[in-house]
Amino acid sequence: MKIMRYVALLLLPICAWQTLRAALPAHSVSPSRQFVIYGADAALRGTISELAEQTKANLLALLRQRDGWKTAIIINLQPQQANLPEIPPADLRVSQTGFGVKLQLDLTVGQNLDGSLIERQLLRAILLEIIYRHEGNLAPGTILVGPPDWLVQGALALTPGRNRETLIRALSITDKRKSLEEFLGQRFDLLDSAGRMLYRAYSVAFVQLLLDEGGGHARLAQYVSNISHASNDPIADLKVSFPPLREEMERKWQSMVARLSEHQTYQFLTFAESERRLDELLQLKVSDGSRNRGRSQPNEPGVIVAHRKRASSLAPGGA
């Protein structure tokens, strides 16, 4: 009798766990375990998981930081409902708990999923986790500060493999260039399509400007970590994290915008892509030179093109 009672006590938690597991909605956990995706089918959950992990990897590469996440991000895939057309396709909800922030991204699954919108909201959620990673004891009613639009748009545009020619072209055709204060004061969601294109281009210029400063990657990572304590003066906050720009931020901003607008005819590559293309061009040059040894070659188009490609590189650590 005692043995049967002992066995029953052992089996009880197992049965309870199986019942609880069966009651949980279908979900998937990403490889880093930071993203927990609910709803839809396993294939779509896997696609969202892959996009989330890649978005995080791109950001960490930009900041040159290791993955040290503390707060999981819940992604809820909900079906599109004809009787509720007002439900946004992507809604990032941020709330407070006794242990910090809770991050939940609700994605409406329809026939056409906007990948760029999903990626943008994923990046915002990842940045929010970094911003409040060490803010465990938030007082009730604390106003949470999100990442600035320029950081989100600039980081996305500088993702390896992205075509930035259209953005850079937008800088060359604008009639009047905005001051840094005007640019930082804009709200991306309030702009029209043409304004958003130009805003993305300005964002590329500004993020690249910050990265090009000495220790720019580490300084940008520090800036992100301090966003929760930001003031109402974004330029003053930036000068704290980027002391080398303290006296010349506006001048260097205008110089960067001008430099990019002058190079709109070239293909903008990441640093790794530029190095690979340069190696290919130099190999072609060496190969061609071995076949034409002894000839006079006053003009070396391969080397000229290689330098142009390298000079127009737009990437963390490049340019």
| Second CATH level (architecture) for the domain 149-262 | Orthogonal Bundle (1.10)
List the beta strands (DSSP E) in 35-166.
35-38, 73-79, 90-97, 100-109
pTM value is: 0.74
Question: Any idea where the domains of the chain sit in the sequence?
Answer: 24-131, 149-262, 266-290+298-319
For residue 116, pLDDT over 80 is answered with: yes
Nearest to 249 by CA among 237, 261, 231: 237
Nearest to 55 by CA among 179, 176, 162: 162
Give the mean model confidence (pLDDT) for residues 305-311. Answer: 35
- Is domain 24-131 in CATH 3.40.30.160, yes or no? yes
One-letter amino acid for residue 319 of the chain: A
pLDDT at 317: 38
Confidence of residue 55 (pLDDT cuts 50, 70, 90): very high
Give the mean model confidence (pLDDT) for residues 257-268. Answer: 68
Which three-class secondary structure string do you get for 209-258?
Answer: HHHHCCCHHHHHHHHHHCHHHCCCCHHHHHHHHCHHHCCCHHHHHHHHHH
What SS3 state is found at 300? Answer: coil
Q: Answer for the pair 206, 179: CB distance below 8 angstroms, yes or no.
A: no
Spatial distance between the Cα atoms of 138 and 151, rounded to a whole number of angstroms = 24
Residue with tokens 């391969």: 302
